[in-house]
Homo-oligomer: A and B are copies of this chain.
Amino acid sequence: MNIGEAAKSSGVSAKMIRYYEETGLIPPAARTQSGYRVYAEADVHRLRFIRRARDLGFSLVDIGELLGLWRDQSRQSADVKQLALAHIAGLRRKIVELEDMASTLETLAQACQGNARPDCPILSELEGPAHPSLPDAASARDNGVRGKG
């Protein structure tokens, strides 16, 4: 099975498969005499695992650990759970942060007439926090949670 087929049936692009191999997330694929990468069902299975973990927002480092636990028959489910809970906490932090931004902006947008005149509370707020009645803007910007941008 060539990389294209493996990509199609795993949902991971060929580019990404090569990248994952290069960074050591997955072991080097077998090769044909001419240098083409060759994949077996087990490899595709692993790629699908990675894809699903990405869909759940895990970083590649986390996924490396998850793969290790997956392969380890003597693993403890507590270790997996801990990883998951830590990731959930990161997601929740990020959600709160974005929620703060969105709600602040919504308050400002509601106060903005949105007409042909220049005066705008959104710009006033950005200009300076001279509006004591409005909620604070969020301060931290990124805590490492992967989005899908």
Contacts and interface: CB of A to CB of B under 8 A. Distances in A.
Interface of A is mostly: helix
Contact of A123 (B69, B123, B138): B69
Count this chain's copies in the assembly: 2
Nearest to A97: B148
Given A74-B118, A127-B70, A92 B102 contact: yes
A106 B85 CA distance: 8
Interface stretch (A17-25, A32-40, A76-84): A76-84
A120 B80 contact: yes
Interface residues on A, range: 35 or more
Contact of A75 (B45, B92, B118): B118
A81 B114 contact: yes
A108 B80 CA distance: 11
Interface in A112-126: 112-120, 122-123, 125-126
